[in-house]
């Protein structure tokens, strides 16, 4: 993994709340976590207030994930939803080796330059944020 501040990091990142605080705290140390339910062993991401496998609210913990996975699909965004986001950029659905599907940014961003294809293996990387947290994204393995 590479430590860096990416120029594409948006000016606003969601604040941590009681559900996502453990995830965001882990990003400060470049640790990627997914939520696991000890009642049914369901693994989910992003963090939620209840298990989507058994609806338990009392058995959820954050566990370490490699962040590695496979690109299920991707799209290139040419018209940003906000003026502070540079285009084009690539958003992908990645199935992590631990099971959950995550939405993530792929770098390099433009498929013509990177040759992204469905089925590409990816690894986790980090963009450091000014507040000490880090934003996860993926790059080719």
Q: pLDDT class for 6, splitting at 50, 70, 90?
A: low
5 pLDDT band, cuts 50/70/90, is: low
> pLDDT value at position 1?
46
pLDDT for position 3? 44
What's 67-141's CATH class? mainly beta
Contact 100/62 with Cβ under 8 angstroms? no
Residue 134 phi/psi, 5° resolution?
Answer: -135, 145
Instruction: Share the mean pLDDT of the chain.
Output: 89
User: Which sequence spans correspond to the domains of the chain?
Assistant: 16-65, 67-141
The predicted model scores a pTM of 0.86
């Amino acid at each position: 993994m590479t430590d860096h501040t990416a120029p594409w990091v948006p000016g606003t990142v969601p604040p941590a709340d009681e559900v996502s605080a453990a995830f965001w705290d882990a990003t400060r140390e470049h640790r990627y976590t997914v939520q696991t339910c000890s009642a049914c062993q369901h693994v989910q991401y992003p963090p939620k207030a209840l298990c989507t496998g058994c609806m338990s609210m009392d058995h959820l913990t954050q566990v370490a994930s490699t962040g590695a996975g496979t690109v299920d699909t991707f799209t290139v965004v040419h018209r940003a939803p906000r003026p502070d986001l540079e285009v084009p950029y690539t958003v992908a659905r990645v199935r992590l080796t631990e099971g959950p599907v995550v939405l993530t940014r792929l770098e390099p961003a433009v498929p013509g330059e990177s040759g992204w294809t469905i089925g590409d293996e990816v690894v986790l990387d980090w963009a450091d944020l000014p507040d000490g947290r880090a934003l996860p994204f993926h790059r080719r393995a």
